[in-house]
Amino acid sequence: MNNQHIINNLPYQKPFLFVDKIIEIDENGVKGAYTYKENEFFYKGHFKDKPITPGVILTETMAQIGVVCLGVFLLKDEITATKKPKIALTSNQVDFYLPVLPNEKVNVISEKVYFRFNKLSCKVKMMNTQNQLVCRGTISGMLIV
C-alpha cells in the first residue's frame, strides 16, 4: 500500500481532511504534513480579524496523520475495496505551545506506543517549518476493518 492509497482510505474528505502527504511510514510510526489554507472554514470566526487555527483542529490533524494514517497502514492487509477501516477516537491529551496561522505548514511526527486488541495509541507531536514544537501529546483510537 503506497502513501496515496493510505490517504485515499482515510474516512475523511474536504473540508475535514487534514493530510496533504505522508512523508514516511512504517510499523512504528509516521511523519506527514499539512498546510492550513487561509480559506479553511474554521478561520471565519476564530478569532475576529486575527485568525489562528483552533486547538481542536490541531488535535484532529495530529490524530488523522499520527494515528489514523498509521492505523490504515497497520491494517493494510485487511482493507479491500468493500472493507474500509472504521475509526473512533478513544482518548487524547495534548499540550499546546505555539499558534498556527493561516497558510502555515506543519509536520506531524507519530511514534506508536502500542497496537493491540484494535486499539492504537501513539505519542504525537506537531512541528512548524522553523522546527519549533507547536503541540504534543498522546492520542489513542480504535480501528477495525
Instruction: Indicate which residues carry an active-site annotation.
Output: 46
CB atoms within 10 A of CB 38: 11
Q: Give the β-pairing of 86-96 and 21-26.
A: unpaired
Vertex 14 angle, CA 9 and 20, to 5°: 65
Burial call 87-116: b when 16+ CB within 10 Å, e when fewer:
beeeebebeeebebeeebebbbbbebeebe
